[in-house]
Amino acid sequence: MTTVKSWLRKQKPVEQSQSAGGTRARTEPKRSIVGAGAVSVVLHGALLLALLTVRLDPGVPVIPSIINVELWQVSDGLDLASREASDDAGGEAPGSASTSESTDLPDPDTRPVATEEAVPEPRAEASVAARNVPETLPVEEEQDDSGFEGNDAPVEPAAPPVVADERPPASSVDTETDIEDEIQDSTGAVTVAERTVATVPEAVTAAESGQPRVSEDGPESPVPVPRRVPVPEAEQRMLENRLERWARNLDRVAQQESPQSWEHDGVAYTAEFTALPVDGDMGIERIAIKVSAEADGDRMSTELRMVRLAFSSYAHFIDRWDPNVQMHDDLIEGRFHSNSEIALSSSRSATPIFLGKVTTASRSINTSNSRRRVRRDEVFLGGLETGVGRIALARGFESMLEEASLSDRAHRFEEDTRITFYADGSYGWTPVESGQTEQRQPLPRGSAYLVATPKAQLHVRGVVNGAVLVYSPERIVIEGNLIYALDADMRSDPADFIGLVSDKSVEIAPPDITGPGDLTVNASIYAKRRFIVSRYRTRQDATLLIYGSLAAGSVSASEPRFAMKIRYDPRLRNVRPPSFPTTDRYELEPWEAEWELETL
């Protein structure tokens, strides 16, 4: 950049006023060098005096002068020729430029000083003009003001000019500089721009910029959000029907190494099976099934789960219904299934009621011996489905218990034994009709197994505190109330469970042993051959309440001794008594019925 003196030598003659009459004379450029130097010294002295005054007291207002205007223009890279052209055209001074021209701003290393017009304090909300100010401003080269010479006559600016106060350069430690930019809008009002950081732009979040978030370790890849769409109703029915067909032999299907494949409506489907971990001997088996399909350039997948049904999953399960037995004064709260036709009898005094869903492999319900018409909506409150698949009874249960009897949690009985449970978590036993003193010990922690040898019977009653399975290859006889120490309805997840499993029968003892009146049994019962109420013809008009589940090959009559009430234990949906028998059937658990899309 050239100096001011050399710049002046190249200028054309400047017109100046010489008389009141308006006569103008042209001063030739041949003025002596000495005169020009004197004028330069005077101007520099005035400039230094103004700067010293501002530095000593920034609060002192400065009278606008041509010096202020010339310095503002030079600092912004404007030459005198352009200023003269602006003056001749009647243009505005730089200080009054439109707010939209955000590039005509002071150098970022200089801070404006207050003029005669008061400048308001910075505001939390800046004007529109302030928001248009760039965050980082260009830095001009340092001007050499030696030999600067301007007009003798002051020029009145259109708006109050601003004297730039030189600031010392920021040190290497000071990396952030606050700038308060004064911007004058078209109405003449002065606003203060938002405080910005000259060296560090304002942070912009990834959500606002649409770009990946940047961390210290580099840019982070955006996490894709999976797209989910509902499975159409027709497609949902197709999937559920196929899984229901697999459920009959899901063990065999799931053991195949290759995924199952099929095609429907031009779409190819595959299904992969994964067995989920089972929580000990009280857990229930589950299989996860991932179904995938491809259509219209998208890969779709969804996961379903199927749970193996235990015989304790049903409030009441019957394999072969005795045609001489009719359900009359019975209440079943829970699911009911029969592999054969069941018989119902309705009268004015009593009608059987099923609160849960009823399924049967038979195509009909026998109501021939009923004294009044049986209305479906009065009897099957949970719904009725006939002609479903048959569910076979368990096989090989005894061999499984033989393995359990070898552990330290099993107690094996060699002869007919009476077992009494106590609320403190112990049990006592004594041989039936032996007259021996009862022996007593606590139930093992976790699961306990009380197992009879072949041809040995077990008689039970008492208060159960723990999880126990009672098994006999012959008979199990219930001689009195068999209840849990803690009422299962009073706690969300009590630990008391008992299963009664027999390869032959589970029986209710005669009235002279159980006593008159109602009888309560808290248990899951599995009688492979028959569940029997002894001396059921004894008129007692009492109620036999089974809280849990009852599965049997067949059942005897219970009236008039007992009206049968079975209440399903809801805990049995997720757990079962230790090693309680399971079916070969799986059932689809509730699912969201949504496809997760992945663009190929």
pLDDT in tens, the chain (600 residues): 444 444 444 444 444 433 344 444 444 444 455 566 676 777 767 777 766 554 444 444 444 444 444 444 444 444 444 444 444 444 444 444 444 344 344 444 444 444 444 444 444 443 333 334 444 434 344 444 444 344 444 444 444 444 444 444 444 444 443 434 444 444 444 343 443 333 444 444 444 444 555 555 555 666 566 688 899 999 999 999 998 888 878 877 877 777 889 998 888 899 999 999 998 889 999 999 999 998 777 789 999 999 999 999 999 999 999 989 999 999 999 999 999 999 999 888 889 999 999 999 999 999 988 888 888 889 999 999 999 989 999 876 666 566 555 667 889 999 999 999 999 999 999 999 877 899 999 998 889 999 998 889 999 999 999 999 999 999 999 999 999 998 655 555 578 999 999 999 999 999 999 998 999 999 999 999 999 999 999 988 899 999 999 999 999 999 999 999 999 999 999 999 999 999 988 999 998 899 998 765
> Number of helices (H) and strands (E), helices first, in the chain?
11, 37
SS3 160: coil
Please give the pLDDT value at position 599.
Answer: 64
Using a 10 angstrom Cβ sphere, with 0-12 exposed, 13-18 middle and 19 or more buried, the burial of residue 183 is buried
d(Cα 341, Cα 320) in Å, to the nearest integer?
Answer: 8
Closest CA to 403 of 356, 449, 439: 449
Cα distances (Å, whole numbers) of residue 156 to 78, 79, 368, 543:
18, 18, 118, 112
Domain boundaries of the chain, sorted by first residue: 4-15+31-167+177-197, 228-311+587-599, 320-392, 396-578
Task: Print the SS3 string covering 34-76.
Answer: HHHHHHHHHHHHHHHHHHHHHHHCCCCCCCCCHHHHHHHHHHC
d(Cα 524, Cα 497) in Å, to the nearest integer?
Answer: 8
Cα distances (Å, whole numbers) of residue 314 to 77, 341, 418:
92, 17, 28
Q: ∠ at Cα 452 (451, 457), nearest 5°?
A: 130
Please give the pLDDT value at position 247.
Answer: 84
Please give the pLDDT value at position 488.
Answer: 59
**Residue pair 591/305 in contact by the 8 Å Cβ criterion:** yes
Please give the pLDDT value at position 39.
Answer: 67
Q: pTM for the complete prediction?
A: 0.62
d(Cα 231, Cα 274) in Å, to the nearest integer?
Answer: 22
Query: Taking phi first (over 0 means left), then psi (-120 to 50 degrees means alpha), and beta for anything else, what does residue 579 get?
Result: left
Please give the pLDDT value at position 276.
Answer: 92
